[in-house]
Structure 1
Amino acid sequence: MKTHKNILILGARAPMTLVLVRSFKKQGIRVILADSLVLPIGRWTNAIIKYEQLPSARFNTQAYINTVARLVSNYAITDLIPCCEEAFYIAKYKNKFLCKVWTTNIQELNRLHNKETFAKAFKHQLSIPETISADEFKNWNHSNHYVFKQKYSRFAGNIFNGVLLTKDELGNPEKWIAQKKIHGKEICVYSIWDEGELRGLVCYEPLFRAGKGAGIFFKFIENKEVEAQVKKFGEHLNYTGQLSFDVIIAKDGPWFIECNPRGTSGAHLLENQLADCFLVNGLRPFQDKRNQMLLFLMLLGYPFKFFKKEVRQAKDAIFRYYDPLPAMMQWLSLFEIAYIKLFKRISWLKATTYDIEWNGNES
């Protein structure tokens, strides 16, 4: 028990952050939660001592950094854990925070996040498909054998998958990559690191998604080859923080198609041991293999899937009898995202990250 710790967690909008704060509370740790949204799902949890609203990391960066630094000082914070894309801003100004910051340096984060530099820089450490900047791509007659994605994107947004294209259709091809299409089953990997030491890792299949991108149903799977590659990679980088990957399991083995150097939904599957991944040295043995889902979104998007036994038996990632308000109040969080969507005229998924996105050119 390390009750002397005071932890500041950023990214209260993410359901995985709710799992994290609950896990710390069970260990007797004081947690302050912060985000730039007014009504994020984490605001309602009884696992925190305070919710603090922040300026926008993307549009008011200096005020954001100054506010986080003030919170670190005011609450005598020992550990700062960013969970969403605010991690890039925190990493860039890492030396301003007088506590342990659970990120690697901004140069490494940016190389991992940018789909072109990830492929170029790490093709000898991981199995990564042929990836080229779209402005250098020549094989347009066979573009249907490639997947075109923006170099900075998330939730599978703005993708052309297996269709014939012309260079002009991309608008700004220098902002896109062409990646050789790999056929197989897509899985995700979530891991936690401290200075090159692997603390936690889980592989899972996002059986159902919100649109094309974000998973809302998480099925535990085991893949030793993927786990071995991730372990070797994180050690090579001497990585600190949360590190996630999207992987295609093909007939010839796993292919790492992109990297997300931040928290993802795999945290739900590590629920019972999540805090220990940040508190205790060494890799945590995986315990609970029960599938989890975001029940509210599953009911909205896939109501008839509840006839399937696998779905009925899955655990809701949000509701807990000892902390019921996040599940009861999540419609308010959805209402705030809907307001951003309508006001900014953007998609649902883009609205969830609009004020914290990192696209490589932020101040």
Structure 2
Amino acid sequence: MALHLARLLHGAGRRVILADTPTRPIAAASKACARYRQLPPPRFEPEAYAEAVEALVRMEGIELAIATCEEVYYLALAWGGRTMPAPLFAPDIDLLAQVHNKHAFIRLAERLGLAVPETVLLNSRDDVEAVRGHSRELVFKPVWSRFASQVLLRPTPDFLDAVQPSPAMPWVAQRFIDGDEISAYAVAREGRLKALALYRSPYRAGRGAGIFFERVEDGAARELVERIVAGSSWTGQISFDLMREANGRVLPLECNPRAVSGLHFFRDPGRFADAVLGDGPEVIPDIIAPQTVRLAMWIYGLPAALRSGDLGRFRKAMRDGQELLDWPGDPAPVKAQWTALAEIAGVAWGQGISLQAASTRDIEWNGPNQLG
């Protein structure tokens, strides 16, 4: 997402400075990157991270800071505790934490008059025992999580023995919704929608992050997004996991206040920048073809196709999907993905975690108690 956003802003005439924790991220190889600065890991060194960010903003004369992933929480904390010379394109930490919390977000949507799936907060083993009898009707997930990590989908009661919630690290039990999943990427300014892409992900890295993206249109989903951004006076990027039931009703499942892959359906730099950063009208997606990262499809999509016996569908997806790393006049990031993957793989090997977990290990935010 950082690469795509950098390309859009660079194409619109902005000077783009990139900063992150890896040594050689993909986006640093792009011609859209005027300079790359490696930062301390905010999850483990939040104060050093805040100091480095402030120094970078001042040294480079940065006029607007934009997050692309879970570093947004650490940036919001830094902006809340320091006098920064440039604005952060995101709400304050209280609102960010509210929507990131999988229980608090549902309560917010409910207060805004939206239909929501029944969602129960689990703070203890007693809370788990109270719902054990109908676990097959529920989805269990940590309040602070990402990429569907640790999700238990309609588990048998014995699987709940592994769920150990606490007030510091609670879980939720949410009614399983049968329907079609829709993902939403949006940008808003002061509660006004400025960009929206709705899409689905038929191929994923495991159960979590999508690696192949197809656009969809859904009026009920759009209305839901509009009501949430207006009701929260949202400024910045925001994304949602939604479920469309057979009767057309769309329910919110969870919220990610950051960029997601729907961003890749925008490729017109001028219109995107005018809408998102200026006073231009809402920008609509200008890409119709499915978007994918072919390397990820070979790593995750092909094994899934072999397990399901649906190689024909996989081959069609590889034919139809447009490589989202491709960009006119900017070929270097395609090659750079191998170096970036090797660095992530090194972290995964050293920590004994998955590639997906390694990709966000330094920046993931698991609630305010992780800093206490």
Q: Which residue of 2 aligns with 1:286?
A: 285
- How many residues align structurally? 348
CA distance in 2, matches of 1:216, 1:274: 23
Q: Which residue of 2 aligns with 1:116?
A: 103
Do the aligned partners of 2:242 and 2:252 also contact (CA within 8 Å) in 1?
yes
Q: Which residue of 2 aligns with 1:276?
A: 274
Q: Does 1:155 align with 2:147?
A: yes
Q: For residue 130 of structure 1, what is the amino acid of its counterpart?
A: E
Following superposition, the deviation at residue 305 of structure 1 comes to: 5.5
Q: Does 1:92 align with 2:92?
A: no
Most deviating of 95-104 and 131-140:
131-140
Q: Which residue of 2 aligns with 1:11?
A: none
Q: Does 1:302 align with 2:281?
A: no
Unaligned runs of at least 5 residues, structure 1 = 1-15
Do the aligned partners of 1:305 and 1:311 also contact (CA within 8 Å) in 2?
no
CA distance in 2, matches of 1:298, 1:243: 26
CA distance in 1, matches of 2:41, 2:162: 32
CA distance in 2, matches of 1:297, 1:22: 21
Q: Deviations over 1:39-83 (max 9, x none)?
A: 211111111110110001111111111111111111111110011
Q: Deviations over 1:163-197 (max 9, x none)?
A: 12255431236521100000111110000112212
Q: Which residue of 2 aligns with 1:27?
A: 12
Following superposition, the deviation at residue 321 of structure 1 comes to: 4.4
- Aligned residue for 2:213, secondary structure, equals strand
- Aligned residue for 1:289, secondary structure, equals coil
CA distance in 1, matches of 2:297, 2:284: 29
Q: Deviations over 1:181-234 (max 9, x none)?
A: 001111100001122121100100011111110001110000111101111210
Q: For residue 38 of structure 1, what is the amino acid of its counterpart?
A: T
Do the aligned partners of 2:301 and 2:314 also contact (CA within 8 Å) in 1?
no
CA distance in 1, matches of 2:332, 2:187: 28
Q: Deviations over 1:67-104 (max 9, x none)?
A: 11111111111110011100001112224321121010
Q: Which residue of 2 aligns with 1:8?
A: none
Q: Deviations over 1:27-47 (max 9, x none)?
A: 111000110111211111111
Q: Which residue of 2 aligns with 1:189?
A: 184
Q: Which residue of 2 aligns with 1:343?
A: 350
CA distance in 2, matches of 1:240, 1:339: 36
CA distance in 2, matches of 1:226, 1:28: 33
- CA RMSD of superposed structures (Å): 1.7
Following superposition, the deviation at residue 313 of structure 1 comes to: 2.2
Do the aligned partners of 1:207 and 1:218 also contact (CA within 8 Å) in 2?
yes
Q: For residue 261 of structure 1, what is the amino acid of its counterpart?
A: P
Q: Which residue of 2 aligns with 1:325?
A: 332
Q: Which residue of 2 aligns with 1:170?
A: 163
Do the aligned partners of 2:204 and 2:301 also contact (CA within 8 Å) in 1?
no
**Normalized against structure 1, the TM-score is what?**
0.91
Q: Which residue of 2 aligns with 1:248?
A: 243
CA distance in 2, matches of 1:307, 1:188: 21
CA distance in 2, matches of 1:274, 1:315: 20
Give the share of equivalent positions with the same residue, in percent: 34
CA distance in 2, matches of 1:60, 1:158: 25
Do the aligned partners of 1:88 and 1:109 also contact (CA within 8 Å) in 2?
yes
CA distance in 2, matches of 1:194, 1:314: 31
Do the aligned partners of 2:64 and 2:87 also contact (CA within 8 Å) in 1?
yes
**Normalized against structure 2, the TM-score is what?**
0.89
Q: Deviations over 1:253-291 (max 9, x none)?
A: 111111001111110012324433422323113332221
Do the aligned partners of 2:42 and 2:362 also contact (CA within 8 Å) in 1?
yes
CA distance in 2, matches of 1:284, 1:208: 27
Do the aligned partners of 2:197 and 2:284 also contact (CA within 8 Å) in 1?
no
Q: Which residue of 2 aligns with 1:7?
A: none
Most deviating of 92-101 and 230-239:
92-101
Q: Does 1:130 align with 2:118?
A: yes
1:334 to 332, 341, 351: 341
Do the aligned partners of 1:20 and 1:271 also contact (CA within 8 Å) in 2?
no
CA distance in 1, matches of 2:48, 2:301: 41
Do the aligned partners of 1:192 and 1:277 also contact (CA within 8 Å) in 2?
no
Unaligned runs of at least 5 residues, structure 2 = 303-310
Following superposition, the deviation at residue 308 of structure 1 comes to: 4.3
Q: For residue 22 of structure 1, what is the amino acid of its counterpart?
A: R
Most deviating of 116-125 and 52-61:
116-125
Higher strand share: 1
1:105 to 62, 74, 92: 92
CA distance in 1, matches of 2:276, 2:50: 23
Do the aligned partners of 2:42 and 2:363 also contact (CA within 8 Å) in 1?
yes
CA distance in 2, matches of 1:31, 1:306: 39
Do the aligned partners of 2:267 and 2:286 also contact (CA within 8 Å) in 1?
no
Following superposition, the deviation at residue 349 of structure 1 comes to: 1.3
Q: Which residue of 1 aligns with 2:306?
A: none
